[in-house]
Each structure stands twice: as C-alpha cells, then as structure tokens.
Amino acid sequence: MALKRLAIFASGSGSNAEKIAEHFANHSEIEVSLILSNNPQAGVIARARRLHIPVILFDRKTFYETHKVVEILQNEHIDLVVLAGFMMLIPEAMVHAFPNKIVNIHPALLPKYGGKGMYGHFVHEAVVAAQEPESGISIHYVNERYDEGDIIFQATCPVTPTDTPEDVAAKVQILEHQHYPEVVEKLLQTHS
C-alpha cells in the first residue's frame, strides 16, 4: 500500500509542524513529504532540516500569480495539505485543486476570534480582553476566506480572570500539539 503523503505549510517557528512530523516519523501509512514556507527566516526550516524533510520556499508573487506551488503538490502526489502557522490566505486555485484536502488550526474557538488579522497573540489578547471563560483550538477545512471553512474538531481550555494572553497562548499550544497530529492522522485514514 502506498504511503499517504502530506505537505505542511508554515511561516514561523514551526512547533506544530515539528510535532506533526515527529508523530509520523515512523508511521507505516503516512509520511510528511514536504514542508513549504513563504519565509526564508522561518524557524520551521531548521526544524525540517533536522527531521530530514525537504523544504520548498516560495514568495508571494509565485504563490498568488502562478500555479507553481499547486503543481509541486500535485507532482508530489500530496494527499493532504496541513497549514501550521501559515500566514497567507490560500489562493482560490489551490483550494479548488485540493477540495477538502487543506486543513488549518486556529488558536481560538471559531467562529469567535477568527478572520483577517486574528492570529497568534492578537487572538489571545482579544480572548483575555473579552474576559472569556474558555478558549481553545479549532481545526477546520480551508476555503477562500480566513477561518471560515467547516470545523472538523475543537478542544477547549479554561481561561481564568488572572490569565495573561501569554498564559492563554501556552494553554492553547498544549492543545495544538496534543490534537493536531491525531486529527490529521484520522483525516488521512478516513479519506482515500
């Protein structure tokens, strides 16, 4: 049986990408085939090299004005595209080339605290400012708009009145690392 192949897109440090890659490092059915980034300074590049996963860098013009990235994914027979801290809106052509095969993780309970500009510390600051009793993660399919695709999985964590945005970020990151690899695995095992 051929291995299911996944590609991870990341713009930053790559802690989620690393957790996913480690999860599948010795998997009998699934492999992380590529890590792609729009940021030549991204920490994910060093993580990928350490894990012996090929890295492909691209710029905004290539991503939005050509089909090169889609062609790379198709040529590599990618079964699932996983966004892990990727800071660019996915182009319509890519969404159509991989229908229900692109997933993202968002550090809040969508539909709250989603959309353009709502990422990283901005999300956690908004959650604390609104005195929310809980936050969490949302894993969702990707469409042409930020954070509006169908939700696949959510997990929650409590937010106390004394929590800072950094405290919330730490709690949310634990959920990300705990659940994202498992949800990706289930998606690949249930979709042929």
- Checking if the pLDDT of 183 tops 80, the result is yes
- Checking if the pLDDT of 191 tops 80, the result is no
16 annotated to a ligand binding site = yes
Count of structural domains, the chain: 1
Choosing from 106, 124, 140, 179, the catalytic residue is 106
Averaged pLDDT for residues 169-190 = 96
Structural domain containing residue 157: 4-191
Entry pTM: 0.95
pLDDT for the residue 1 = 66
Distance CA 120, CA 91 (A): 21
Q: How confident is the model at residue 178 (pLDDT cuts 50, 70, 90)?
A: very high
- Checking if the pLDDT of 65 tops 80, the result is yes
Q: How confident is the model at residue 192 (pLDDT cuts 50, 70, 90)?
A: low
- Checking if the pLDDT of 2 tops 90, the result is no
Task: Give yes or no for a contact between 152 and 141, defined as CB atoms under 8 angstroms apart.
Answer: yes
pLDDT (tens digit, 9 = 90+) per residue, 37-48? Answer: 999 999 999 999
Q: Which long-range contacts (CB under 8 A, 24 or more apart) does 64-67 make?
A: 64/91, 67/93
State yes or no: is 140 an active-site residue.
no
5 alpha carbon, distance to own chain's centre: 15
Task: Give yes or no for a contact between 33 and 7, defined as CB atoms under 8 angstroms apart.
Answer: yes
14 annotated to a ligand binding site = yes
pLDDT (tens digit, 9 = 90+) per residue, 93-109? Answer: 999 999 999 999 999 99
11 annotated to a ligand binding site = no
- Checking if the pLDDT of 124 tops 70, the result is yes
Averaged pLDDT for residues 12-27 = 95
* Distances 61 to 44, 58, 91, 145, 171 between C-alpha atoms, Å: 21, 8, 11, 19, 36
Q: How confident is the model at residue 190 (pLDDT cuts 50, 70, 90)?
A: confident
Averaged pLDDT for residues 7-35 = 96
Which CATH number does the domain housing residue 185 bear?
A: 3.40.50.170
Calculate the average pLDDT of the chain: 95
